[in-house]
Amino acid sequence: MNTYDIATIDGDGIGPEVCQSAIAVLREACGERLRFTAWPGGAAHHARTGAVLPEESFAACRSAHAILHGAAGLPGITYADGTEVGNDLHLQLRFRLDLYANVRPIRLYRGVRSPLAGWEAGGIDYVIVRENTEGLYASRGAGVNLRGEVATDTLVVTRKGVERVARFAFELARRRKGAPRDGRRRVTVCDKANILRSYAFFRAICDEVARGYADVEIDYAYADAITVHMLKKPDFYDVIVAENMFGDIISDLGAGTVGGLGIAASAELGDSHGLFQGAHGSAPDIAGQDLASPLATILSGALMLRWLGERHGDDALVQGAARVERAVEDVLAAGQTVPRDLGGQARCSEITQAVCRQLG
C-alpha cells in the first residue's frame, strides 16, 4: 500500500495544538500510511530569524504529497507596510505552488445548531470555490502608497485563471449530489458583473466553461445579494465560484451559518500540490491552554485524505476521509464532547481523544 509524505507547519498561537490533534486523528484513521514531518514557519519564527517561511520549509512543502498547516500570525508582528507577517506564510505557499482553488465546504453537522432558525443537519450543504491567486489579492506586495496620500491596489482577472477555477467548480458539482433543496447540480457565479468590467469578464468566461457541462446548471448572484441569499435560502446552493476577495468574504459568512470558523475546513489546491488548514486564525489569547477547537483542522485533514485518495486512486484514503467526517459528526451529535465555540466545555485534548475513540 502507498505511503504519503505530509509536510506540517504548526505555526503560531493555537496552531501547534490543532495541528497535532489533526495528526493524531489522521494516524488513527490511516495508521502509518501518512509520514508527517514538521517544518518551521510562522510569525514567531519570523520574529526570531527574519523568515516567515524558510527556504528549507518551502522545499519540503513542494516535494511532499500534501501540506498540513495549523495557523499563523501574532499581534504586533507586521511588515513595514502594516500587513501581517503570519498571513504571508500561506500566501507564499499559495502563490509559489500555484494553489489556485480555495475549497471551503459549508455543511451543517448533526449536533450543531445553526444561528439560522429552523435549519437542521443536511439542510445546508454546499461548497464555495474561491479563485486563489488572482483578483484583488494579486496586488499583494505590489500596491501603491503615494506620499501617504493615495493608496491603490489592482484587481487582476485573467482568462487562464478564471477558466481553470470555473472548470474546477463544475467538475466538483458534477461529483456532488446537488443542492439540498432540489437535488440539482448547480454552480453559482458570484460577482459584480453589473458594475465592473473585470467581473463581467469573469462571468463571461464562466459562461464559456459552463457550455461543456450540460448536466450542471449555471446560476448567478451579485456579491452583495448573495450575502442575503446565503442566509434566507442556503439550501439552494451546491457550488459557488467567486473571485478571490469576494470568495474570502462569503466563505466566512457561510461558515457562520453552520457553527463558525472553529468547524470550517479549508483546502487550497493546485494541479500538483495541496495545502490544508482550518479557516480560523491563530487565537493567541487561548494558545497553550487546551481550549482551542481542533475540529476545523481535523476536518481539513479529512479533505486532505480525500484529495490524496482521488489523486492517487487510493480508495482506502477516500474511505478514511469519510470515516473522519462521520466520527466528528458522531461526537458532536452525542453532545458530550463539544468545543466552547459550539456551546460546550470540552478541551482540545478531550475532543481529539473522543474523535479517535469513535474511529477505533
- What amino acid positions are annotated as catalytic residues? 137, 192, 224, 248, 252
Calpha distance 7→15 (Å, rounded): 14
Calpha distance 214→136 (Å, rounded): 31
Query: What dihedral angle (degrees, nearest 10) is formed by the CA atoms of 317, 275, 24, 65?
Result: 50
C-alpha cell at 280: 480560523
Q: Are strands 239-242 and 66-71 parallel, antiparallel or unpaired?
A: unpaired
Angular region, 121: left φ>0, alpha ψ -120 to 50, beta rest: beta
Q: Are strands 4-11 and 34-38 parallel, antiparallel or unpaired?
A: parallel
C-alpha cell at 205: 468566461
Nearest to 169 by CA among 97, 99, 101: 101
Cβ proximity of 123 and 235 under 8 Å: yes
Nearest to 137 by CA among 92, 170, 195: 92
Who's near 76: CB < 8 A, 6+ residues apart?
Answer: none
C-alpha cell at 3: 505511503
Cβ proximity of 109 and 326 under 8 Å: no
- Residue written as cell 510562522? 42
Partners of 38 in the β-ladder: 8
Calpha distance 259→264 (Å, rounded): 8
Nearest to 131 by CA among 84, 176, 167: 167
- Residue written as cell 506620499? 147
